[in-house]
Amino acid sequence: MSRNSLFTGALTLLFIITGCANQSKQGKIHKLSHKHSEEAIEDISSRSEKDFQGLEARFEEIEDSLEKEDLSLNSAADRPEHASSRAASVDGIKLEFNDHVKKWIRYFAVRSKARFQRHLDRGEKYRDVVEEVLRQHGLPPELYYLAMIESGYSNHARSPMAAVGAWQFIPGTGRRYGLGLNRYLDERRDPIRATEAASRYLTDLFNVFNSWYLAMAAYNAGEGRVLNAIMRGNTRDFWELVRMKKLPRETRSYVPKFMAAAIIGRNPERFGFRTPRAEPYPDVTAVELPSPISLKAIARESNISLNQLKKVNAHLLRGVTSPNKRTYDVWIPSKLVASVKKVRKSLVSHRIAKLSKLALNRRNPNYHRVKRGESLSSIASKYRISLSELKRANRLNGNRIIAGSRLRVASSGYQRSQGSKHRVRRGETLSSIARKYDMTITEIRSKNGLRSNRIYAGQQLSVRVSKQAKIHVVRRGESLFRIAKKYGQSVKRIMRLNQMTTKTIYPGTHLIVAQR
């Protein structure tokens, strides 16, 4: 079998395992992408001709200055061998200065100058916090410009495909990466939580493609479309896929637009923009408070400004925390944290009791009210879960259901009671994973539809947790040290039980904390 055939087979397997098809985002419209047709880019108006000619004349000077800024022009991992463009290394992402990128620099700096200046200004408010979150996740801070291309840093941006917030998450992908979404909150509008989710998503994409160009393309079009383009084009060279038009039209422009924005953002004045001005996002701390509770009650009891709370908790759509949780982490301006913590116990009496019942009503997305003529099979199909999962969630032995009864439905992000997910780490094998979870290799392959023993770093596998194992689900703000102390274990033992090589953990991760 040829090397290309092996590679194509591996990509096909990866596509099946990661469930790429259900996470496609190609339909969404971006503020800086979908509205700008190729014709509009080429059609520079006569009113802008003078500015255009001036910028064009400066391109050679800009190229020379980029070279003098100690940008690695010949070491770009994502750069095609045949490319004649200059490449720049910026915090792990290679920036090209080719014709595709120049075209978008011209567009942003001439035809859409006022609009792009607004995006620079709006993004400046969030720049420090976004870049800090990216760094904490080990990602290049230049990915800050990806959200600028997505939404122009408008937390209220919404596409026809229901992609929302600065990072433009669709509901399915948002929930998949831990963002809460219901009638009372939409954490896609939270710049910190959304950036954390985007960081996890981009990390997964980079682990899959081992290329920032392809990872960003997949963020735009969906993993499935990019994998399909790679298989049809028989290449992982992004620029070659662009040349062959294997990627969707919007995606072919998406990466060059990111590069154009990043190059302009490094020195706006060089391209005729003024230095962005904005009041920085305030320092905030997450404080766990009783839920559901209103921001008004928190402000009144702690004697702080309601407006301050609303500004940093704009994702709480009705000024109330989620009724589906007993506690919720509310963002509090750091200088006011002490005032809130003092009254935390007294806030229990301010819980909105009637809202707690909403966790079981017909509008709750985790429940379905059976209608006349419906079957378990049709309901399972509607919520894209298996019949066995639906029966297990509701403790049903047969297939008989009664109209008017309420069934609990599970989404793809739901953690089942008898199972969990394992993210493959570099160096792991099916054999080592099977030993960890007291399973056979055959069981893991069958559970995940694997045709061979090949697995990839970053891949998620469904596993069965031993009944003898005690599991802890990591909550936001927890550390390995705190978890180990809670269960009377050492950090080293927990790392050994979970075959961890670093102490980095993420909310939602299932950790084995004890095993007989």
Yes or no: say if 463 and 486 are a contact pair by the CB < 8 Å rule: no
Across the chain, how many H-helices and E-strands are there?
22, 10
Which of 65, 92, 89, 95 has its CA nearest to residue 75? 89
> Partners of 89 in the beta sheet?
94
Q: Are 293 and 321 in contact (CB under 8 A)?
A: yes
* 428 φ/ψ sector (left φ>0, alpha ψ -120 to 50, else beta): beta
Nearest to 212 by CA among 231, 232, 226, 224: 226
d(CA 76, CA 84): 12
* Residue 314: strand, helix, or coil: coil
Residue 443, token pair as written in the block = 């069981």
Give ∠ CA 104-109-113 in degrees, rounded to 5.
115
Burial of 109 (0-12, 13-18, 19+ CB in 10 A): buried
Structure tokens, 382: 């509607």
- 338 token code pair: 């002490």
CB 102 within 8 A of CB 52: no
Q: What is the DSSP secondary structure assignment for residue 108, as one 8-state letter?
A: I
Give the alpha-carbon dihedral of 410, 467, 502, 207, to 10 degrees. Answer: -40
Catalytic residue positions, numbered: 150
297-304 long-range Cβ contacts below 8 angstroms, 24+ apart: 297/347, 297/350, 298/330, 298/340, 298/347, 301/343, 301/346, 301/347, 301/350, 302/336, 302/339, 302/340, 302/342, 302/343, 303/339, 304/333, 304/336, 304/339, 304/340
Alpha helix positions (H), 223-325: 223-233, 238-243, 249-266, 295-302, 306-312
Residues 458/421, Cβ–Cβ less than 8 Å: no
Query: How many CB atoms lie under 10 A from the CB of residue 147?
Result: 25
Closest CA to 227 of 202, 177, 217: 217
Q: Comparing C-alpha atoms, which of 217, 269, 255 is closest to residue 96?
A: 255
